[in-house]
Amino acid sequence: MFSVFSLNGQKCECGKEHFLPKCKVISGQNVLESIVEVVKEFNAKKVFVLSDKNTFTVCASKVLQILDKNNIKYTSYTFNEDKLEPDEQSVGSAIMHYDYQCDLVVGVGSGVINDIGKILSATAKTPYVIIGTAPSMDGFASATSSMTRDGLKISLNSKCADVIIGDLEIMKNAPMHMLKSGLGDMIAKYVSICEWRISNIITGEYYCERTAQIVRNAVKKCVDNASGLLNREVNAVKAVFEGLVVCGAAMAYVGCSRPASGVEHYFSHVWDMRAITFDLPIELHGIQCAVGTYIACSLYEKIKKIRVDKEKAKNFVQTFDYDNYSKQLKDFLGRSAISMIELEKKEQKYDKAKHSLRLDVIENKWQEILQIIDEEIPNLKQLTELFDKIGLPKTLKEIYVDENLLYKTFISTKDIRDKYVLSRLAWDLGVIDEMIN
């Protein structure tokens, strides 16, 4: 599957030498028993199997039966929480239950289990195998874990899985909501690629067209097979699973999250942080990303109608009160805002001189920026048809978020990471307060 990354270890047109971590992908129907050969390949003496109570029932119990049948020693730990969070407590629980006689970690699950498993194996210094139970997120092949630390959503360096096993017979029977979540995470790449290109123009950020095209191809395959997902067709499930793996690998290939994450993911991060801080209901990450994508594409339609007005933009920045904004951020996000404010001390994105330089570039390159939006962002009518056909939500209300919080959510996205996204472009243009009606 990783043959698409044909320049591994060689210099690319982008000027960078790309390297992929060694990662074996086993994808197909009824491939669960391949875990036996994987254990032998690593010459593992004892396996640590990590799961939650849902993935134990649908898959991990079968894995343990296979290990028993083949006389492979193991220790297993199953989280018992109804809602497992990727945070300090869950990582601590995994480490405290880890059997240090084990020399291979096997995670059985998807997003949260995979994120915890990668950290556990990196800490224990063992190889790591993830057996995916649902094609619901793009972290299978990434070398980071999406975690909540001190209330803030972060990408924590961990490790890439050494082996990814995707048994399509198990995956196709995952809850439909999780299948849709994986598709939502793939559709999000429309926005991430667009913003990567725009940032390359405005900030000079590194960009690789070869990698972007690999991601585009994966997204197209998912969208072309989207209808089949509702019928749990193997080809549709395979397209989403392998697309998610490719996108995770793409991040490792270029050494950043740009190919797979933009403002649409930051919408999701904001909602996650508020849910944790204020004990609110929360949706699956990929479902949130789908809504974030739909909103972002709608806002890009507004951006396309804007004429760059430098005087207006500079007046907006001159009157911007960061101290007051910081207070609003704390009220909205709680303790998560503290880390975001600390990041700004280093980044200085609100610095007036830096803004002036960016604004000059935006004015000079505005037609090129508009062309990128036209090329990368799907037509809203077509996107609406796709969402309606698959049954993906488009509004905050559908994902348990107060619709009145859209404005605060949007303006907060520019502070999540050191990354130039739509909300930063709107701020630079002096129109961010006009984007949400």
Tokens of 250: 């793409």
pLDDT at 152: 76
Distance, CA of 36 to CA of 342 (rounded, Å) = 47
CB 64 within 8 A of CB 76: yes
pLDDT at 2: 66
58 DSSP 8-state letter: I
Tokens of 278: 């204020």
Distance, CA of 410 to CA of 432 (rounded, Å) = 9
245 DSSP 8-state letter: H
CB 250 within 8 A of CB 214: yes
pLDDT at 425: 98
* Closest to 272 measured CA to CA, from 159, 117, 111: 111
Q: Compute the chain's Rg from CA coordinates.
A: 22
Give φ, ψ of 380 to 5 degrees: -65, -35
Strand pairing report for 144-149 and 128-132? unpaired
pLDDT at 21: 79
pLDDT at 3: 72
- Percent helix, strand, coil in the chain, to 5, is 60, 10, 30
Tokens of 382: 């077509």
Angle at 400 between CA 434 and CA 57, to 5 degrees: 140
Task: Give the distance from CA 203 to its chain's centroid.
Answer: 22
* Closest to 117 measured CA to CA, from 137, 135, 98, 101: 98
Q: Which amino acid is at 350?
A: Y
Q: What's the Cα-to-Cα distance from 387 to each of 72, 179, 267, 330, 395, rounded to whole Å?
A: 45, 14, 18, 34, 11
CB 148 within 8 A of CB 276: yes
Q: Which amino acid is at 243?
A: G
Sign of CA dihedral 410, 413, 415, 418: negative
User: pLDDT tens string for the chain (437 positions)?
Assistant: 667 787 778 889 999 999 887 899 999 999 999 999 999 999 999 999 999 999 999 999 999 999 999 999 999 999 999 889 999 999 999 999 999 999 999 999 999 999 999 999 999 999 999 999 999 988 899 888 989 888 777 888 899 999 999 999 999 999 999 999 999 999 999 999 999 999 999 999 999 999 999 999 999 999 999 999 999 999 999 999 999 999 999 998 998 999 999 999 999 999 999 998 899 999 999 999 999 999 999 999 999 999 999 999 999 999 999 999 999 999 999 988 998 999 999 999 999 999 999 999 999 999 999 999 999 999 999 999 999 999 999 999 999 999 999 999 999 999 998 999 999 999 999 999 999 97
Residue 175 CB contacts under 8 Å (≥ 6 apart), including other chains: 134
Longest dimension (CA), the chain: 74
